[in-house]
Amino acid sequence: MQGNLNSNTENYLTKNSIGVPEYKPKDEFFKEKDFSDKKPSGYKREKVSVNDALEELEDESPLELNDFDDGLTDEEFKFSLERELEKQLSENDSSSEMPNGHFQDALKNALEKEKVENEPKEKETPEDNTDENENENENVNEVLGGATNDETEVVPVEGTLEGELVSADIESLSEQSPQSPEREEYLRLKQEFKQTQKKYLDAVAEDYTTRDHVSKLLGIGRHNMSDSTKEAHDRYLSANRAFYEYSRDSESFRVIAERAERMNRVNHHDAESFSIEPSLVGRHILNTAEKRLKLQTSRLMPERLSQTLGRVSGLIKNHPRIAITAGVVALGVGGAVAGAGAVGLYAGKVGLGFATRYGGSMIANKTLLQNKESKLKEITDQAIGVLGQMDEETLERYEEEILRASNTVQKTKTGIKIASRMAGIGVAGAAFSPEINDFLTDAPDNLPTGDGGAGLGLVPPEAPVNPTDVIPESPVVPEGQSTELPVQEKAPLSEVAKGWVESESMQTPSSVEMEILHDVKEGDTLSKVVFDEVEKRLTAGSASLPDRAMGNGGLMSFMLEKFPEFSNGTDISPTLSPEQWQRLGVSSGNPHMIFYDNDVVNVDAIIKIMEGQPVKEVLDSLPELENASQISESTSMFSGNENNLTLEEAEEFAPKYASDQIIDAPKSFEVSSEPEPVIPLEASPEPEAVPSVESPVSNEVIHDLPTSQESINESSEYGPYETNDVDNASVESAFEDFDNAGYFVGEYYQGMTHTFDGETGLLTLLSDTIKEGLYQRGDLAPPMRLVSGDNDFLGDIDGYLYQGLLELSGGVASSDYVFFPEGTVLNPEDWEVFGITSDNPMKPNAGDEFEVGKFLEFMLGGNNEVLLNNE
């Protein structure tokens, strides 16, 4: 397909000596086609090309253009053009027919203008010239000849009022001149395409009336069609393909694309190139599928189901991002197409089910579109409200507005690209998305080499990012990730870092948007900072790591192998000494302890060491550390410390933090020096003995939670529970070792409470809150362990939440523990910490003030320290 063509040339279509269509420059064309000696014979034929009309349009002032466009905005006009093109391509008759509406108006306007200008000449033109008229016809045929299917020449034809415009369509031309073989073939193929399409749809309709199992007939697919319908489908596909290939290989697509692009530029001066691909896909694929679906739903589905479908469609159209994301996932396109790397990465991940890819893409996409979604919604609200009684034209008008809003969104997405490239993956405000993490560790196997990640769309080759498109206030830049290149002029830098910036950033090609220095932000952990940067470089093909680092989970293991001090282990041999870590920007000398708004870590140097460069060589290449002492005097906070401890306070806990910050173990858990267990330990459950209620979200049977520690232990109502032999220390250890990589909960949830009304259940509240965070707010992400391996939290949030509550009740088989270390059970006192006084936590009492944020930290983040705070 030839969609994006350079339309700067003023070429006119003609035929060469052997009848093959070719383009000639405007001047040359008119020189050869000098009509000055032509004599009209009873009618006037003026040659006004599309290009002339467009030139005339370009001369118009914006106001005049608006008037000219019947008040349509640029975007509306552009959308109209797309529709016109598609319509033009889809019409049964010649595609050389003039498009209706604005485009035709433009030509009409241009022609009338030219007519006025040429009027004196016309008066001088001899009246009688039959022979010349024949020549004129030849000229017209030449202009339209060959494959000039869509090169429209507007001519007043004989028998019409002077100046009246008609299109020089194929029928009129055929009366005046013989068809070229190319054109005849084109028309034949097109006619065959249309005929087979109609027969296919008729056969589909016939199937509906003769076959009972309607469920097998709905949808795009052809399975379970009747044999006759399959035959019709085969013929349709064959004709469709032949027509497409002929068109593709002819000049017609190029002509249409050129014209469309010119028109687009007239109305949208800063527009990118215009593509005809959507129109082609529409004609050859989507139109038929849409017609078939319409046929199916209108003729086959019971009215009730049809109405239900309409309601579902309406609700989905309420959020254009849903359809867009579904489209992205269905097409399996990369980030370049998806507009954001993470979306594309999710969409293209092989081996995942659609639901997971969709869920992941929505998470990645959600915050991206959040700000603009309200605008989209406003527009779609209007459309939804009157859907069904709206004529097609009005509906298209709404669609135009939606498209315009989508284009606005697109600008946000463009801006996000920079952030995406900087962050590698995390566009959703979440620290990073676990599933993307999985993918990225596999990425090198899937990446085309040498394209700088373009294959995955991180750097769209066809759409260079314009830095001016970045929306500074965009909320989607992951916290802790800069949208700037390594020269972090805006960020406060330590003296050491400044030296690095001056030396290193100058060596960094601007095209390689790797982070050399990382200005530590609140919430960062060093391991995550390094991990993210390595992922990004792997995606871009700019990191050199051994194969064992590429597999699932391999990168994390490799990091620990290269830097054992990243682990929580006590008997390890660190790769770097505290002094060396200081050289790399970790002011404390302890990689588990970094300070935000103070430390600027040289991640590039760390990665070089990971890649195998000798430590000494790497460190020697760094500027001298001169003012390290200033660092410890900083008033900055511990990175990731959510309690806003001062530096001094934090340092008191340094030994504790030294074992908690890495690999996203629960951050503050070890702050507690209390020997008392915070989680009562329970026995192996017998879930079948747990009383059941119906799940609000499915037909599953849900077991009520045991109401207390005592009841768990003693009440036969919940079955006998054996004493758990897991001691307190082991549970605490299990919490420490919990891998919460990827877990993120935004500030919004800190301190969040909910007062129950006695009606709403705990599961419902949690489900709603988490889904809102995942899909609407974009400020919540589950840990990787819940969305990788055998777990698919995103695919069944309600089910997993229920599982988690079962775990807390002890009503779960030990092998099924997902959220918590085995044996973790809450007693009534624990539930009261979260504000629930009910005997049955699943059904809180009215007035119970539930500590939502605290519970999320506990359940998703594995932070059992929250249980210590019973305020």
Partner 1 sequence: MSEDTSEITLGDLLGVEKIPEDQRDAFLARVGNLLIDSSVARLLVSLDDGQVNKLEMYLENVSPEDDVFAYLLRTYPDFQPIVEKEIAALHFEASEIFGS
**Interacting residues with partner 1 between 323 and 352 (CB under 8 A):** 323-328, 330-334, 336-337, 339, 348
The residues near 281 (Cβ < 8 Å, ≥ 6 apart) are: none
Shorter beta-carbon distance to partner 1: residue 339 or 478: 339
Minimum separation from the CB atom of position 371 to partner 1 (A): 14
Of the candidates 311, 626, 643, 758, which one interacts with partner 1 according to CB under 8 A?
311
Shorter beta-carbon distance to partner 1: residue 315 or 693: 315
The piece of 25-33, 181-189, 356-364, 527-535 that touches partner 1 (CB under 8 A) is 356-364
Of the candidates 20, 116, 281, 701, which one interacts with partner 1 according to CB under 8 A?
281
Minimum separation from the CB atom of position 258 to partner 1 (A): 15
Site string for partner 1, 425-464 (x = CB under 8 A): -----------------------------------x-xx-
Tell me the sheet residues that pair with 744: 781
Residue listed under structure tokens 């705070």: 869
Of the candidates 20, 315, 386, 701, which one interacts with partner 1 according to CB under 8 A?
315
Instruction: Enumerate residues 691-720 that contact partner 1 by CB under 8 A.
Output: 697-698
* Full DSSP string of 240-284: HHHHHHHHHHSSHHHHHHHHHHHHHHHH-TT-----SHHHHHIII
The full length of the chain comes to 871
State how far the Cα of 513 lies from the Cα of 10, in Å rounded to an integer: 40
Shorter beta-carbon distance to partner 1: residue 20 or 220: 220
Shorter beta-carbon distance to partner 1: residue 38 or 413: 413
Instruction: Enumerate residues 380-409 that contact partner 1 by CB under 8 A.
Output: 399, 402-403, 406-407, 409
Q: Which secondary structure element, helix H or strand E, spans residue 640, and what is its range? A: none
Of the candidates 29, 358, 531, 850, which one interacts with partner 1 according to CB under 8 A?
358
Site string for partner 1, 213-242 (x = CB under 8 A): -xx--xxxxxx-------------x--xx-
Tell me the sheet residues that pair with 25: 11
State how far the Cα of 840 lies from the Cα of 439, in Å rounded to an integer: 41
Minimum separation from the CB atom of position 349 to partner 1 (A): 12
The piece of 18-26, 286-294, 546-554, 567-575 that touches partner 1 (CB under 8 A) is 286-294
The answer to whether residues 758 and 453 touch, using CB atoms and an 8 Å cutoff, is no
Phi–psi pair at 175, nearest 5 degrees: -75, -20
The dihedral through the CA atoms of 7, 11, 14, 15 has a sign that is: negative
The answer to whether residues 805 and 701 touch, using CB atoms and an 8 Å cutoff, is no
CA atoms within 13 A on the CB side of 276: 28
Shorter beta-carbon distance to partner 1: residue 245 or 727: 245
Minimum separation from the CB atom of position 214 to partner 1 (A): 6
Minimum separation from the CB atom of position 395 to partner 1 (A): 13
Shorter beta-carbon distance to partner 1: residue 60 or 796: 796
Of the candidates 91, 185, 277, 495, which one interacts with partner 1 according to CB under 8 A?
277
Instruction: Enumerate residues 103-162 that contact partner 1 by CB under 8 A.
Output: none
Residue listed under structure tokens 């972090």: 488
Instruction: Enumerate residues 251-270 that contact partner 1 by CB under 8 A.
Output: none
Shorter beta-carbon distance to partner 1: residue 403 or 501: 403
Q: How many residues bind partner 1 (CB under 8 A)?
A: 95
Shorter beta-carbon distance to partner 1: residue 116 or 305: 305
Shorter beta-carbon distance to partner 1: residue 63 or 350: 350
The answer to whether residues 602 and 584 touch, using CB atoms and an 8 Å cutoff, is yes
The residues near 169 (Cβ < 8 Å, ≥ 6 apart) are: 93, 94, 96, 97, 98
Phi–psi pair at 693, nearest 5 degrees: -135, 165
* Full DSSP string of 186-218: HHHHHHHHHHHHHHHHHHHHHHHHH-S-GGGT-
Shorter beta-carbon distance to partner 1: residue 1 or 628: 1
Minimum separation from the CB atom of position 271 to partner 1 (A): 6
Of the candidates 355, 572, 701, 813, which one interacts with partner 1 according to CB under 8 A?
355
Dihedral angle, C-alpha 650, 655, 661, 663, nearest 10 °: 180
Instruction: Enumerate residues 49-68 that contact partner 1 by CB under 8 A.
Output: none
Instruction: Enumerate residues 460-489 that contact partner 1 by CB under 8 A.
Output: 460, 462-463
State how far the Cα of 373 lies from the Cα of 388, in Å rounded to an integer: 23
Minimum separation from the CB atom of position 237 to partner 1 (A): 5
State how far the Cα of 340 lies from the Cα of 411, in Å rounded to an integer: 11
Of the candidates 45, 47, 190, 317, which one interacts with partner 1 according to CB under 8 A?
317
Minimum separation from the CB atom of position 274 to partner 1 (A): 7
Shorter beta-carbon distance to partner 1: residue 305 or 813: 305
- Does residue 82 touch partner 1 according to CB under 8 A? yes
Residue listed under structure tokens 């993120």: 744
Tokens of 172: 């009129």
Shorter beta-carbon distance to partner 1: residue 319 or 754: 319
- Does residue 73 touch partner 1 according to CB under 8 A? no
Tokens of 422: 């900087």
Question: Helix 392-423 crosses helix 320-331 at what angle (to 10 degrees)?
Answer: 60
Residue type, 602: N
State how far the Cα of 514 lies from the Cα of 424, in Å rounded to an integer: 9
Of the candidates 190, 284, 349, 536, which one interacts with partner 1 according to CB under 8 A?
284
Minimum separation from the CB atom of position 17 to partner 1 (A): 31
Cβ neighbours around 131 below 10 Å, total: 11
- Does residue 634 touch partner 1 according to CB under 8 A? no
The residues near 606 (Cβ < 8 Å, ≥ 6 apart) are: 530, 563, 584
Nearest by Cα to 668 from 681, 691, 649? 649
Instruction: Enumerate residues 760-819 that contact partner 1 by CB under 8 A.
Output: 771-772, 775-776, 795-798
Q: Which secondary structure element, helix H or strand E, spans residue 89, and what is its range? A: helix 74-90
Minimum separation from the CB atom of position 799 to partner 1 (A): 8
Exposed/middle/buried for residue 6 (C-beta within 10 Å: 0-12, 13-18, 19+): exposed
Say how far residue 210 (Cα) sits from the centre of its chain.
42
Site string for partner 1, 650-689 (x = CB under 8 A): ----------------------------------------
Shorter beta-carbon distance to partner 1: residue 326 or 512: 326
